């Protein structure tokens, strides 16, 4: 339910952004299924859940060592993210920390490049998040 989702997202965001849980954060943001969950939550009907989901999503985007599949999913959804993320500015007008994080995430998304191809020609099916 809504209250549970909201509390879990808030707690998860705090844990992932706490330096003492770096190992957990790296493991979490390396998981493509978790990325897809948070990308879907960015479009939740509740603006509060969207904002809480953004705080977790930014860890995926900001990870300098993104696994290939995470990078691929972000790249395949790049155009949609470029259109959607700026709409979050209206939600937190005046919250300088949030707006700074949003600017940084938008900048990283704009600079996303396709992940290098796997050697041997093996291809995984593409995954756009609906």
User: What's the pTM?
Assistant: 0.86
Mean pLDDT by 10 residues, the chain (130 residues): 94 95 96 98 94 96 96 98 93 83 97 82 60
Residue 7 within any structural domain of the chain: yes
Residue 86 within any structural domain of the chain: yes
What is the predicted pLDDT for the residue at 6?
Answer: 95
Distance, in Å, from the CA atom of 29 to the CA atom of 18, rounded to the nearest integer, reads 14
Residue 11 within any structural domain of the chain: yes
Residue 126 within any structural domain of the chain: no
Residue 79 within any structural domain of the chain: yes
What's the first-to-final CA gap in the chain, in angstroms? Answer: 21
Residue 90 within any structural domain of the chain: yes
Please state the domain count of the chain. Answer: 1
Q: Supply the range of the domain harboring residue 98.
A: 2-110
Residue 128 within any structural domain of the chain: no
* 3-state per-residue secondary structure call for 28-42: HHCCHHHHHHHHHHC
Residue 121 within any structural domain of the chain: no
């Amino acid at each position: 339910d809504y209250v549970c989702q909201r509390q879990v997202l808030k707690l998860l965001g705090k844990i992932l952004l706490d330096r003492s849980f770096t190992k957990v954060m790296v493991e979490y943001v390396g998981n493509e299924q978790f990325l897809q969950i948070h990308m879907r939550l960015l479009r939740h009907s509740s603006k509060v859940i969207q904002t809480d989901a953004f705080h977790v999503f930014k860890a995926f985007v900001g990870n300098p060592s993104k696994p290939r599949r995470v990078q691929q999913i972000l790249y395949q959804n790049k155009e949609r993210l470029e259109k959607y993320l700026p709409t979050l500015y209206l939600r937190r007008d005046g919250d300088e920390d949030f707006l700074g994080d949003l600017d940084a995430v938008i900048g990283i998304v704009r600079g996303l490049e396709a992940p290098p191809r796997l050697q041997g020609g093996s291809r995984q099916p593409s995954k756009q998040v609906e």
